[in-house]
């Protein structure tokens, strides 16, 4: 009986343990209303990624990764971790472009409502353009916007990758149902929310 109780406690502790998630990049703009995870926020990619079940990358305007950083990140995902790779309106696509170029030979492209406007007699380029990624046979299109894929998912070795062309879905004022958006993304990544908060 004691042995059975010990095994039950061990299984229960493993089932309800929180998964460790890394948030990297422009996460300050995002409302992190995701519960049930041990959340670590970093402004630079840690040298040790072991122990992270998932990595959320919110692309910035400039990527500072070295080749060593890229190799470490890709290896970690290929060995079973999950990756959320978020891009948004230009110029918030740097890390996403680096990884999608390397993994799929793809780059984000803008879709603009208008190319420029005039203000006080000066022509101003419109930088409020939606980022899109071309269709790729290794990626499944999960969400569309005007005939463009905006949420894609796929396998990368033993791990999973989710590529989001509009991480503005997690901004505090833009999305009233952020909890549902987080749930969709974490399910695509193969991460399940545990009952602990």
Mean pLDDT, the chain, whole residue set:
79
> At residue 196, does pLDDT exceed 50?
no
- Structural Rg of the chain based on CA atoms: 19
Sheet holding 54-58, edge to edge: 37-42, 19-25, 54-58, 82-86, 159-164, 148-156, 140-145
- Which pLDDT score is estimated for 116? 44
More reliable by pLDDT, 129 or 12: 129
> At residue 29, does pLDDT exceed 80?
no
31-87 pLDDT per residue, tens: 766 667 888 898 889 999 999 999 999 999 999 999 999 999 999 999 999 999 999
Q: Please state, in angstroms and rounded to a whole number, the distance separating the CA atoms of residues 32 and 172.
A: 9
More reliable by pLDDT, 79 or 185: 79
Which token pair is 125?
């380029």
- Which pLDDT score is estimated for 191? 86
- Which pLDDT score is estimated for 5? 47
Confidence of residue 120 (pLDDT cuts 50, 70, 90): very low
- Which pLDDT score is estimated for 85? 95
pTM over the 0.95 mark: no
Domains of the chain: 20-27+37-114+123-188 (3.40.50.880)
Interval 4-11 mean pLDDT: 46
Tokens 């269709």 correspond to 135
- Which pLDDT score is estimated for 110? 72
Query: What are the distances in angstroms from CA 115 to CA 90, 111, 125, 160?
Result: 13, 10, 6, 36
Instruction: Give the lowest-confidence range in 68-72, 140-144, 174-178, 182-186.
Output: 174-178
Which range has highest mean pLDDT (46-55, 103-112, 172-181, 182-191)? 46-55
């Amino acid at each position: 009986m004691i042995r059975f109780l010990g095994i039950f406690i061990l299984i229960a502790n493993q089932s309800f343990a929180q998964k460790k998630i890394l948030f990297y990049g422009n996460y300050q703009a995002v409302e992190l209303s995701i519960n049930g995870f041990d959340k670590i926020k970093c402004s630079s990619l840690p040298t040790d990624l072991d122990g992270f079940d998932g990595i959320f990358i919110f692309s910035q305007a400039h990527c500072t990764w070295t080749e060593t950083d890229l190799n470490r990140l890709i290896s970690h995902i290929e060995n079973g971790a999950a990756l959320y790779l978020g891009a948004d309106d230009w110029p918030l696509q740097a890390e996403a472009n680096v990884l999608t170029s390397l993994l799929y030979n793809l780059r984000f492209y803008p879709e603009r409502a208008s190319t420029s406007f005039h203000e006080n007699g000066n022509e101003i380029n419109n930088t409020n353009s939606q980022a899109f990624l071309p269709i790729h046979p290794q990626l499944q299109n999960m969400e569309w916007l005007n005939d463009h894929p905006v949420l894609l998912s796929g396998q990368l070795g033993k791990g999973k990758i989710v590529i989001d062309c509009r991480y503005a879905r997690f901004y505090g004022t833009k999305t009233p149902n952020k909890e549902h958006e987080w749930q969709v993304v974490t399910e695509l990544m193969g991460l399940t929310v545990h009952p602990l908060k």
